[in-house]
Amino acid sequence: MTKEKVLESIKKCVRDYGGDYNLNYDEATDSLFHSLDQVIGLDFAIELRSNACGDDYWLQCEYWSEKLKKTVIWDYDVGNFDDYNEVADYVIRTTKLIKDFEAKISLITDKPKQELCKICDGDFFNGHRCN
């Protein structure tokens, strides 16, 4: 995905929205990212979250990890974009970072775990010497 493709997709979202998104408001930024996801299919979601009382709101970036079988909160406080270029940069950067992170997960999870018995230092997978 290129920055130009993301910017073109943002322009389409703006046209469909009927005007510019006010990036100073979390609700508008949330709406933009939901529209972008429909247009280009993002690898992550930007979701508007609040505390239990509903008196504090924030945008957070999250994605579903097939390898971990869990939702990963990637960035707890998204927002404060000055313009659509910053939004495009965020999309490109976050997509790359998540892909790199997922690749590292597979490196970790593909290796067999070597657990040693604390008594005899035997490998649990190959049997150990103490009973």
Cβ neighbours of residue 21 under 8 Å, at least 6 residues apart? 13, 14, 28, 29, 31, 32
Report the pLDDT averaged over residues 77-92: 94
pLDDT in tens, 102-121: 998 866 555 555 555 565 55
Q: Residue 23: what pLDDT?
A: 93
Among 18, 130, 36, residue whose Cα is nearest residue 90: 36
Q: Does a structural domain hold residue 24?
A: yes
2 versus 110: the higher-pLDDT residue is: 2
Buried b (16+ CB within 10 A) or exposed e, 64-88: eeeeeeeebebeeebbebeebeebb
Q: How many structural domains does the chain have?
A: 1
Task: Return the pLDDT at 98.
Answer: 96
Average pLDDT of the segment spanning 9-21 = 95
pLDDT of residue 110: 56
Using one digit for the tens of pLDDT, what is the confidence trace for 22-68?
999 999 999 999 999 999 999 999 999 988 888 888 999 999 998 88
* Residue 17 resides in a domain: yes
Q: Which pLDDT score is estimated for 30?
A: 94
Per-residue model confidence (pLDDT) at position 40: 96
pLDDT at 129: 56
Do residues 29 and 46 lie in contact, with contact meaning Cβ atoms separated by under 8 Å? Answer: yes
Q: Is residue 107 a part of any domain in this protein?
A: yes
Residue 131 lies in a domain: no
In a domain, 20, yes or no: yes
Span of 26-30, 77-81, 124-128 with lowest mean pLDDT: 124-128
Domain with 49 in it: 3-126
